[in-house]
Amino acid sequence: GAGVSQSPSNKVTEKGKDVELRCDPISGHTALYWYRQSLGQGLEFLIYFQGNSAPDKSGLPSDRFSAERTGGSVSTLTIQRTQQEDSAVYLCASSLALAGTGELFFGEGSRLTVL
Amino acid sequence: QKEVEQDPGPLSVPEGAIVSLNCTYSNSAFQYFMWYRQYSRKGPELLMYTYSSGNKEDGRFTAQVDKSSKYISLFIRDSQPSDSATYLCAMSASGQESGNTPLVFGKGTRLSVIA
């Protein structure tokens, strides 16, 4: 389909392991966002990429979290040395540049469980 | 105080009822206001968008913004079981003129419409 694609849809890992989550945005969307959704906590902003500009990393909760976006398209969110509190749904969204309406198109998320 | 406050519910109403969902916020710079709907195990999708103060109507849905009170509302008329979902308010301070800044989301209100 033409929507935002995320993989894996579910990931179970052991505490201390590293995980990589992938996001494939809608073609032509230059802005890409990562949010985290924990039970009862709403959507927490993590990081934002806009074209070739430096990413806005202000929402990353610790230095164990990092993200990159290669070629202005696919993005990977990496969590090193996972902790149980990292368990959440990680949502990726994309939008057109200067989309003043704020319409973000979300993927279905990657559900991470850290045992 | 969080930037955006939203009662998480759950809210349960009978089919046909009028539903009122609300958010309050603290940042007076917010001027773009949205409501997203999220079905279980899906990503959020944009439902309504409003700029600055005023009302906007779309079918059974009406969005209201009162910037003087820092209060926004979503009304659903003639509610249907298919409206059962989590409704998240979202807002931002910038728009098309100055590029995107990440949306700030409320925690979401879980709504159940009972047939």
- Token readout for A30 is 């230059």
Contact flag A4-B102 (C-beta cutoff 8 Å)? no
Q: Once rounded to an integer, what is the mean pLDDT over residues A75-102? A: 87
In single-letter form, the type of residue at position A78 comes to: T
- Answer whether residue B101 shows pLDDT above 80: no
Alpha-carbon distance of B39 to A100, in angstroms, equals 25
pLDDT-derived band of residue B98, with 50, 70 and 90 as boundaries?
very low
Contact flag A102-B102 (C-beta cutoff 8 Å)? no
Question: What does the mean pLDDT of chain A come to?
Answer: 91
Nearest chain B CA: its distance from A91 CA (Å): 7
Q: Once rounded to an integer, what is the mean pLDDT over residues A14-29? A: 95
Contact flag B107-A31 (C-beta cutoff 8 Å)? no
Tell me the pLDDT tens digit for each residue of B48-96. Answer: 988 888 899 999 999 999 999 999 999 999 999 999 999 999 998 865 4
What pLDDT shows up at residue A41? 76
Q: Once rounded to an integer, what is the mean pLDDT over residues A70-90? A: 94
Q: Once rounded to an integer, what is the mean pLDDT over residues A65-93? A: 95
- Token readout for A7 is 């993989």
Q: How many CB pairs under 8 A join A and B?
A: 75
Least confident of A38-42, B34-38, B50-54: A38-42
Interface list for B 18-57 with A (CB within 8 A): 32, 34, 41-46, 49
- Answer whether residue B12 shows pLDDT above 60: yes
What pLDDT shows up at residue A98? 54
- B14 burial via Cβ count (<10 Å: 0-12, 13-18, 19+): exposed
Asked whether the beta carbons of B13 and B20 are under 8 A apart, the reply is no
What pLDDT shows up at residue B92? 86
Alpha-carbon distance of B59 to B114, in angstroms, equals 20
What pLDDT shows up at residue A1? 56
A33 → closest Cβ in B102, B106, B108: B102
Question: What does the mean pLDDT of chain B come to?
Answer: 90
> What is the C-alpha R_g of chain B?
14
Contact flag A42-B108 (C-beta cutoff 8 Å)? yes
- Answer whether residue A78 shows pLDDT above 60: yes
Among the listed residues A61, A57, A81, the one whose alpha carbon sits nearest the alpha carbon of residue A69: A57
Task: Give percent above pLDDT 70 in chain A.
Answer: 94
- Across A80-94, B38-52, B100-114, the highest mean pLDDT is recorded for A80-94
Contact flag B44-A48 (C-beta cutoff 8 Å)? no
Task: Give percent above pLDDT 70 in chain B.
Answer: 92
Contact flag B32-A100 (C-beta cutoff 8 Å)? yes
What pLDDT shows up at residue A97? 63
Q: What is the DSSP string of A33-78?
A: EEEEEETTTEEEEEEEEETTSPPB-TT--STTEEEEESTTS-EEEE
In chain B, the residue whose alpha carbon lies closest to the alpha carbon of A59 is: B102
- A84 burial via Cβ count (<10 Å: 0-12, 13-18, 19+): exposed
B36-49: b (≥16 Cβ within 10 Å) or e: bbbeeeebbebbbb
Residue A71 CB contacts under 8 Å (≥ 6 apart), including other chains:
none
